């Protein structure tokens, strides 16, 4: 959604990039035979329903949800709050968006993060930066 995109994805001028991104997605959908995919970093401030509906309204074919960047010395702020308060806000958010995606029988949106987890649980070899048992050759 525009508000959240423009908090983190801005031009050097300070202008938000949302409208240009949407324009690019629409142009790609209209003039390219290649399905449009996007990367989204988890943001628990965005209602999962709002985000999922945005993907559908933009005719996105695939999404990969990235976890917030961090490590043991630099834990993302809201994840640190989860750990400090013994809460599961991130897990709850992921469960909500998973349920929306898994139970939606009306579209073909692919969410790679969830597909890889499901394949891994079913015993398939998975290769990704964030999980898996195969070399990613990165």
Does residue 135 form part of some domain?
A: no
In this prediction, residue 73 carries a pLDDT of 82
pLDDT tens for residues 68-121?
887 778 877 778 777 888 888 889 999 999 999 999 999 899 999 999 999 988
User: Taking the mean position of all CA atoms in its chain, how far away is CA 91?
Assistant: 14
Q: What's the domain range around 34?
A: 2-121
Decide: pTM greater than 0.95.
no
Does residue 57 form part of some domain?
A: yes
In this prediction, residue 138 carries a pLDDT of 59
Inter-residue long-range contacts of 37-40, CB under 8 Å, 24+ positions, other chains counted:
37/61, 37/62, 37/63, 37/64, 37/110, 38/62, 38/63, 38/64, 39/63, 39/64, 39/66, 40/64, 40/65, 40/66
Does residue 54 form part of some domain?
A: yes
């Amino acid at each position: 959604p525009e508000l959240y995109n423009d908090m983190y994805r801005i031009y050097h001028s300070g202008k938000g990039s949302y409208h240009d991104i949407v324009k690019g997605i629409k142009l790609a959908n209209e003039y390219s035979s290649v399905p449009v995919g996007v990367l989204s970093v988890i943001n628990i401030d965005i209602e999962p329903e709002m985000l999922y509906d945005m993907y559908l309204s933009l005719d996105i074919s695939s999404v990969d949800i990235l976890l917030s960047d961090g490590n043991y010395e630099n834990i993302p702020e809201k994840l640190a709050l989860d750990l400090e308060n013994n809460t599961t806000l991130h897990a709850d958010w992921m469960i909500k968006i998973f349920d929306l995606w898994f139970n939606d029988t009306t579209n073909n949106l692919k969410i790679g993060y969830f597909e890889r987890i499901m394949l891994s649980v079913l015993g398939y070899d998975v290769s990704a930066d964030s999980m898996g048992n195969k070399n990613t050759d990165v």
